A and B are shown apart, each in its own frame.
Chain A
């Protein structure tokens, strides 16, 4: 009813987000699609999508791209819209790889080609369209896991095929392959390890805050304060503190702990993680209906039985939502570790910033974003699975 009231007659049956994506896509085509530069540092020349290669390539590529975005329009056909998004995505990759080959052909040895703003906008529009269509289809946790695995598989296949190796970012990667692998491992250690430590401290602390109301206000206020310290300032505090600690306890030095490097970054991430973990633990335990808790006491459950059988199972989705926040936050924050020699993808970001090499920055930033997205989707699936009552009984 509201559709007919608010949508002009000619647009009925069209998905409003789909329409927005199509318009944004069309506008993005006017932006430079790729950049050609004489070497990795100098500013380059932006080329619109129809100039990156001969028409034999750009014409079919752009046609399929437009078709894909157009398929995103019908509001009532989510599967078709998803198909359109995938088609548009394939067209973008096709244009990018063939454009790179064509542009590199007569450029010099040091020349670099990179995706430009037009490509990034179109990529974002396409991914948003896919996400919107998927949200409309409401896939269950199992199907979402399959889709995630499929998307990662497709991404891996694209990277492994070497199609992107002619791009500047591919060249940056090729010269740093082993460093990239080390950075990946280190980034995962920083984000997952700090999460594990924060959970080991935060869950018991949250349970204690739930049981002892007097503790709650003070603890949450302290952790909120920690959360407001900017990450750079946090490192600034950490360096002398850890330095003093290591001087006092030389055994720590033998373990590789120092004022800069991995240790302060790790400790800072743990500190930032505590508030979401503790706050969500308290909120999750509070979420159990009061009469159910009262009945559990009245029936003779011990406090531990109440915690394990009633409060934790009912609060688990909220607890896991806290873990999700921390995981995504830490994957992003771990980049800062690169600044103080903590390793991880941040190494590339800060090297790139120092050398004004945009593609080196991207080599650090893109995997970080990807990692955060995969973590978010995986945690959402786990949160859904952790709801103990079936959907029809909520």
Chain B
């Protein structure tokens, strides 16, 4: 029976080999060859230059910060939402998906309008005689953009997990004398771990690799590793170096994946 069920993943296996593995192999090919097709490590070594290391470091820092901010913002939010007596899940889901029906580029451009020196927010602050907010074209604006764009990816998995937690378990914990804090730390949080992990994955990586947000809200002054790679492909049209840098960046992605898989297993161990 299990064998039959396994067959269900057959189409996906074929699909992923054709459209994920093979294209990726082509990136590897480009990453390890030069223009003439000869084998080289030079593309990979490009990551060692000061500029690229700095861009990578900054990208790691900013994406880490936004992931943490997203988690801190999203967890209470998901808890509040999961406690609402809303019958239709789709309502809650839609509140967070709805903004995406406005195009991503337009939404990010709209933050320019809001944050600019003569923008909407400063207009309001001026009216209230409060000091102006000067974060446009700084890393803060980029973090804001990341949090704004990726928050739904944190909220949705958390909400999906929290709504599934049996209320009886929580009540049982309370009946047995656990405090609110204990209930949260010993019952709710461990049970929600799969959601936390999937949320972190869904926020950290797009944040690490973005170039549009840093471009639009950072005034193109702040280079993240995504910008560097994008430039290699678009402005320098040097696909080999671009591929090489992508490969190095993927090491960090793989690292984060390894960490998440490890904790995911632990989470499952507790759940079953």
Indicate whether A and B interact.
no
Residues of A bordering B, CB below 8 Å: none
